[in-house]
Amino acid sequence: MHPLLPNISQEIYDQLWAKSAELASYNKQYEEMRESNKDLKRKLLSYQNHFLYRGPLVYKRISKRLSTEQSLAKFSIKNTILSELTDSVVINFIKSIIDNRQTLIYRLNLDPQINQHSEYNLFFLSFLPLDFFATYVIPPIFGFFTGSSNISDFIEAVSMAFDVEAVHPEPFIANFHKTFLCAVLTRFFLMPQFNKFIFKHLSGVYEFYNQLKIQPSEELTKMQYSKFFASFLMEMTAAVPFWPNFLRFLFQRLSRKFPVKFTIVISVIIHCILIPLLQHPKLYGVVPEACNLPEINFEGFKDFILTLCDPSLTGLRKNEAFERGIIANLVAVLLDPTQPTNYGPEIDESAISAIALLALSRFETDVAAKEAISTLVSSIPGCSIFSFSIESKRKRYRCDESLNLLLELLTQTNPDYNIYNLSPRLSAIKSTLSQRYFEYDRVLENLDKELEKCTNSMVDLVGDSKQLTEMITMCEASLRRSETIQVSRIIAQMREENNVLSDAEKRKTTFANDVNSLGQFCVWNLDNYYSRNQWLEDLMPLVARTFHSQLVSEYPITGISRTQGSSDADRKLISRKKEILEKIKTRGVDSQTMKVINDTSALEPVANRLVAASKIDSPCDCTILIEEALGNAENLFLFANGVVPEANQLMPTLATLFVVAQMESPFSFCNWLNNHLSSVCELRPDWFKNGDGARMEHFFKLGEWIQELLDE
């Protein structure tokens, strides 16, 4: 008999206490992880809300009388007020919306108010109802499309509306780009968590814009349209098998009731993915953030692409070089039957702006809710955002209630010294349990089951934590990219105030003869403007890099930038690559380094980043790709040998990478980049340098080292 529980032996007590202590420890870890994930979810929720107010829909409607400083302050994440709803009438209203959200898009799409031209005011801006509801109502109601239950409900909700339109498909498809459903899907695909699946793999957008710079004729432009669209379709087709199943299932469900599925699928691809990403390529992350892009005739592009997709037209000219089978391939892959699988952490909370909540209430018949929401919104700041609950399908782990009393007694007593000094509650539990008959084997078995349940729940939480952290990182990246829209406006203001254009024209000869003068001119203008606009502190790195890119593009260092006597060296390297690669191996290369540089095919994917960098007109964006390539080469060495390369191993590895890269003018590019970066990085490293700049120093030394090999 044991003194704590007289009806069990010491041996049984020891087993029960050990298992209970283990379970208590797991329960504590579980609760800590759950709280940590709750904080991550709240952070993600703030970022997702903030992203809605940083997009092109907002910035293009900013009033001209409103300063850039004011507009940025209005949409600062620091100013976002996330409040919990306490009014039971409002809470019940939102719960009713959530419970019936699968019919929400269908009902809004049929409501004539959605397509009216009267505008909704959000903070200080005005929006058409169609844009307002697609942007500020639908994403919050569906939990910003995070978690399987929110995604599956959204797919069904938007598809129900498509089912209705399938009854008369021709007028719907002809005017799809003007519809509420098009706006809803465009916002869905723009969400940060989907970027890596849909847009990250698209590599031809920057090259497409560059081609449009140098081929202005209508005929050549159409040819570029054809080539780009074909490239886009092929890259999409290659990527679709790696998408989460729910993205493919979305297209299958949308087109289910349409007699010609091809037409509706390609309409969604063009109007909800392709055209938006070309309108805002920096926001979608398909071009470098600081690069310069020409204007594009989107209406002309769209009309031409739709003509290519029209199966009834057969008279396309051969020089448009487009095979319609490419479109059919993409549609076939998207419509290949699949079922959605779990994706992302299940969330139990979302948030909606006060103004969006008020707008939503106007479409409902609940008079009490309308009055309560109107009263609430009128009494708070307009930028307030309310959080609300969404039922999660994943049940929180809870210990079996039948074991709770036993666990509480065993885990709050020490087997060695305090079993006689119990609190009144523990004494009552002891008295209750002492009178019971224990089936010890079953109790131990139940404890093992609880341990397994708790362990599995912790594994789920670890997975959720990883996904939440990744989604927060993606939101941060999207928020940073969204700033490029406003940065363009800031630079336009700076150029006007500082009279940049005329000053630069006067110094054009100086720029051509002095490699540092352009950088000095750039930094002087930036410092001058920043001194008058201290609120720009957080944005200055992006402002500086973008402005520098514009100057480099408009005023290249003629005769020095990409030539500088390097053309002969470029030709020598390209014609003598095999010879140079062999020479590198004779420079005291050890066995570990040889293991990496012997197989140049392994370096080719890494070298492609250098090739991409050599085609970019923005020096600071070049450095990002170069540093990524050099870092990947170091990781390749680490993977092959299990150790980080030392300096004498790193140089031949990176030199091999430099030679393997299919850059058109490697030395000229290296000199051009060094000329444009050296002065600005020296004057303003906080704006122009990435980290300590060590990898870029390696890159510039590579050019010198390989040049010596060529001269031998």
What is the secondary structure of 599-630 as a DSSP string? -HHHHHHHHHHHHHHTT-S-HHHHHHHHHHHH
376 in a structural domain: no
> Is 406 or 193 the better-scoring residue by pLDDT?
193
Taking residues 639-650, what's their average pLDDT?
84
Q: Which region among 178-192, 300-314, 520-534, 630-644 has the lowest average model confidence (pLDDT)?
A: 300-314
208 in a structural domain: yes
Taking residues 438-442, what's their average pLDDT?
64
pLDDT at 644: 87
Taking residues 34-63, what's their average pLDDT?
78
Tens-place pLDDT, residues 293-311:
877 777 888 888 888 787 6
Q: 463 and 502 share a domain? A: no
Q: What is the number of alpha carbons within 13 Å of residue 347 lying toward its C-beta?
A: 30
User: Binning pLDDT at 50, 70 and 90, where does residue 552 land?
Assistant: confident
Taking residues 601-615, what's their average pLDDT?
86
User: Binning pLDDT at 50, 70 and 90, where does residue 315 land?
Assistant: very low
| Of 338, 353, 374, the domain-final residue | 338
436 in a structural domain: yes
Q: Which region among 136-150, 216-230, 611-625 has the lowest average model confidence (pLDDT)?
A: 216-230
Beta carbons within 10 angstroms of residue 629's beta carbon: 26
Structure tokens at 276: 């938006």
Structure tokens at 501: 């254009």
| Residue 162 pLDDT > 80 | yes
Q: Minimal CA–CA distance to 58: which of 462, 483, 369?
A: 483
243 in a structural domain: yes
Tens-place pLDDT, residues 205-241:
888 887 776 655 566 677 888 888 988 999 999 999 9
| Of 338, 353, 376, the domain-final residue | 338
Q: 446 and 533 share a domain? A: no
pLDDT at 450: 78
Q: 575 and 449 share a domain? A: no
Query: DSSP states of 64-96 as a string?
Result: TTS-HHHHHHHT-GGG-EEEE---HHHHHHHHH
- Beta strand pairing status for 384-389 and 81-84? parallel
List alpha helices for 498-506, DSSP H: 500-506
489 in a structural domain: no
Structure tokens at 268: 């969604």
Taking residues 72-81, what's their average pLDDT?
59
pLDDT at 560: 46
Q: 649 and 535 share a domain? A: yes
627 in a structural domain: yes
Q: Which region among 27-36, 171-180, 213-222, 330-339 has the lowest average model confidence (pLDDT)?
A: 213-222
505 in a structural domain: yes
Taking residues 551-563, what's their average pLDDT?
60
Asked if 347 and 150 touch (Cβ cutoff 8 Å), the reply is: yes
In sign, the C-alpha dihedral spanning 236, 238, 240, 243 is negative
Taking residues 469-497, what's their average pLDDT?
87
Q: 437 and 512 share a domain? A: no
Q: 576 and 663 share a domain? A: yes
pLDDT at 566: 61
Taking residues 504-518, what's their average pLDDT?
83
> How does DSSP classify residue 131?
H
Taking residues 597-608, what's their average pLDDT?
84
- Map residue 384 onto helix, strand or coil: strand
| Of 298, 322, 338, the domain-final residue | 338
Question: Total structural domains in the chain?
Answer: 3
pLDDT at 223: 80
| Residue 66 pLDDT > 60 | no
pLDDT at 226: 84
Q: 259 and 400 share a domain? A: no
pLDDT at 156: 95
The range of the structural domain enclosing residue 582 comes to: 498-712
Mean pLDDT is highest, among 21-35, 268-282, 393-407, 606-620, for 268-282
186 in a structural domain: no
pLDDT at 64: 45
Identity at 519, one-letter amino acid code: G
- Map residue 208 onto helix, strand or coil: helix
Global pTM reads 0.83
Q: 583 and 663 share a domain? A: yes
pLDDT at 434: 57
Angle between helices 325-334 and 218-239 (to 10 degrees): 30
Cα–Cα separations (whole angstroms), residue 593 to 60, 318, 483, 660: 53, 50, 42, 16
Q: 314 and 458 share a domain? A: no
Q: How many DSSP H helices and E strands does the chain contain?
A: 36, 5
| Residue 563 pLDDT > 70 | no
- Map residue 582 onto helix, strand or coil: helix
Structure tokens at 403: 């074991």
Beta bridge partners of residue 122, listed in sequence order: 125
Taking residues 274-297, what's their average pLDDT?
86
> How does DSSP classify residue 538?
G
* E strand or H helix that includes residue 353: strand 349-353
User: Binning pLDDT at 50, 70 and 90, where does residue 558 land?
Assistant: very low
Q: 462 and 504 share a domain? A: no
Q: 331 and 401 share a domain? A: no
Q: 609 and 679 share a domain? A: yes
- Map residue 388 onto helix, strand or coil: strand
